[in-house]
Amino acid sequence: MPALHERARILDDEHAGTDLRGRFRLPAGVVYLDGNSLGALPAGVAETVADVVHRQWGSRLIESWNESDWWGAPTRVGDRIGRLVGAAEGQVVCTDSTSVNLYKSVVAAARMRPGRRVVITDPASFPTDLYVTEAAARDAGLTVERVSPADAAARAAELGADLALASYSSVDYRTGELWDLPALTRAVHDVGALVCWDLCHSAGVLEVDLDAHDVDLAVGCGYKYLNGGPGAPAFLYVARRHQDAFDNPIAGWNGHATPFAMAPDYVPAPGISRGRVGTPPLLSMLALEAALSAYDGESVADLRARSLSLTGFFLECVDAMLPGTEVVTPREPERRGSQVSLRHPDAYAVVQALIARGVVGDFREPDIVRLGFAPMYLTHGDVLRAAEHLHAVVEDREHEDPRFAARSTVT
C-alpha cells in the first residue's frame, strides 16, 4: 500500500532523533518484535564482558573486587536503572531476580504494616508473580485476594485498615494494557497501605516516575527493554522514606552492615544496600551495566513518544491490511504499553510462520500473538514490513503449514 509506505517514511523522518539502531547489534534482515521478552544486544556489551573475563577476572583476579569496584556494582547499576524509572539515587539496587525481589517486598510490606491481613494482586499477573505473592503472603501470615487492577481502588477502599499491600504489574504482560499507576497508588495510600509495582514491561520504555508518584516498592527485570541479556539480574526499588523499616526476609551477608566483619548476627546495611542478599553474578551484572549505556543522553519521555508512534502505526497497518483482526491491546495511547497483542485461534502457528519470514514475535496462551516494540531499535519501516508479513501469513494461510504447528518447549 503506497500510502502506508509514504506514511512510514514521514514518521521515521519525524522520529529520526530517537533512531538508536546504531547502538545495537541486530541480525540483518530481521524485524525483532520480542524485546519485551529478551532485549537485543547493545554495542559494546560483548567487549565489556570480554574485558571482565580476560582482564578483570583473568589477569587481576580477586583484586578486581576493589580495583574495578565489583562490590559497588549492585548500587551503581541500580542508580543507572533508577534514572530510567524516575528514582533518585540510593533507592534502587540491582540484585537477584524479579521473583526474589518480589518475595522480599511482600514480606517486608507485611512487617511494615503489622496488624493488616490482606494483599491484593491481579489474577491475570504473570504466573510467577502470583506464585511468589501467595508464598510470601503465607510466610508473612497474610491472605491474598485476586482483584483486577480495574477494581483494585474500590477494593482497597472496602478493605481499609485490613489492606497491607497492593502488588500489581504496571503493564499486563499478555495484553499490553497500561494500568493507572498514579491513581491506584493514591487509592492504596488513602487507606494507609503500601503498593509494589512490577516494572518488567515498563522500565526503559515508559515514564514510570516512581518518586513523583510516591510509590513505595517496585521490582523489575534487566533483560527485557533494558537489554541486559538472558538471565540479567533484576532490580529492587525501596523509597527512601521506607528504607530504615525495610526488613529484608532473606538476610544475606551482602546486605549486612559490615559484611567483611563476618559477624555471627545479622545487622542490616543502611539504605538500599539492605536489599542485597548474596554475592552478585558479576558477569551478568557488568553486562547489564554496559547495556544501559545505550540510554546515555536519551530521554525516556522521547522514547515513550517513539513507542506510541510505532505501536499506533502498527495498529493503523493492521486495520488497513487485516480488517476485522481482534486487537487485544487498548488503542488509547494512555492505556497502551510498548506492545500490541492480537488474538488468533492459531496464534502459535502464526508466530512461527512470522519467525520463518524474519519477523520475531512471541505467543502467549491461549491465542495471543504478542509483539513488543522496543523503540530504540525499531523503525516505522520495520513496523510496516512486519504488518505486510503478517498479512501474507494470514491471507495465504501459511500458518496452516504442519511445520508451524509443533510446539517447542520455549516460545
Q: What integer pLDDT is reported at residue 405 of this predicted model? A: 83
**pLDDT tens string 133-158:** 999 999 999 999 999 999 999 999 99
Taking the C-alpha atoms of residue 313 and residue 387, their distance in angstroms, rounded to an integer, is 10
223-239 per-residue burial string, b: 16 or more CB within 10 A, e: under 16: bbbbbbbeebbbbbbbb
Q: What integer pLDDT is reported at residue 407 of this predicted model? A: 74
Taking the C-alpha atoms of residue 359 and residue 120, their distance in angstroms, rounded to an integer, is 38
Strand-strand pairing, 368-372 and 339-343: antiparallel
Nearest Cα to Cα of residue 286 among 50, 102, 11, 105: 50
Task: Say which residue the cell 532490580 belongs to.
Answer: 235
Residue ranges per domain, the chain? Answer: 2-20+299-404, 48-295
**pLDDT tens string 283-310:** 999 999 999 999 999 999 999 999 999 9
What beta strand segments (E) does 175-234 contain? Answer: 194-198, 217-220
Nearest Cα to Cα of residue 316 among 263, 382, 241, 387: 387
**pLDDT tens string 332-349:** 999 999 999 999 999 999
pTM score, whole prediction: 0.97
**The domain at 48-295 falls in which architecture?**
3-Layer(aba) Sandwich (3.40)
**pLDDT tens string 16-60:** 999 999 999 999 999 999 999 999 999 999 999 999 999 999 999
In angstroms, the Cα distances linking 243 to 80, 112, 237 are 19, 10, 10
Q: How many residues does the chain have?
A: 411
374: CB partners within 8 A, 6+ apart: 32, 35, 36, 39, 40, 205, 225, 227, 338
302-312 per-residue burial string, b: 16 or more CB within 10 A, e: under 16: ebbbbbbbbbb
Q: ∠ at Cα 223 (226, 308), nearest 5°?
A: 45
Backbone angles phi, psi at 220, to 5 degrees: 180, 165
**How many Å separate Cα 104 from the centre of its chain?**
18
Count other C-beta atoms under 10 Å from residue 399's C-beta.
21
368: CB partners within 8 A, 6+ apart: 174, 175, 328, 341, 342, 343, 347
Count other C-beta atoms under 10 Å from residue 22's C-beta.
9
Q: Is 80 exceeded by the pLDDT of residue 103?
A: yes
Q: Which residues participate in catalysis according to the annotation?
A: 126, 198, 223-224, 370
Taking the C-alpha atoms of residue 379 and residue 15, their distance in angstroms, rounded to an integer, is 9
Strand partners, 166: 120, 195
**pLDDT tens string 169-216:** 999 999 999 999 999 999 999 999 999 999 999 999 999 999 999 999
- Tell me which DSSP letter residue 19 carries: -
What does the block give as the cell for 373? 516494540
Q: Is 60 exceeded by the pLDDT of residue 358?
A: yes
What does the block give as the cell for 292? 544501559
Nearest Cα to Cα of residue 253 among 217, 280, 289: 280
At the top level of CATH, the class of 2-20+299-404 is: alpha beta
In angstroms, the Cα distances linking 255 to 65, 68, 124, 274, 327 are 16, 20, 33, 4, 45
Q: Is 90 exceeded by the pLDDT of residue 409?
A: no
Per-residue pLDDT band for 406 (boundaries 50, 70, 90) equals confident
Average pLDDT, the chain: 97
Per-residue pLDDT band for 162 (boundaries 50, 70, 90) equals very high
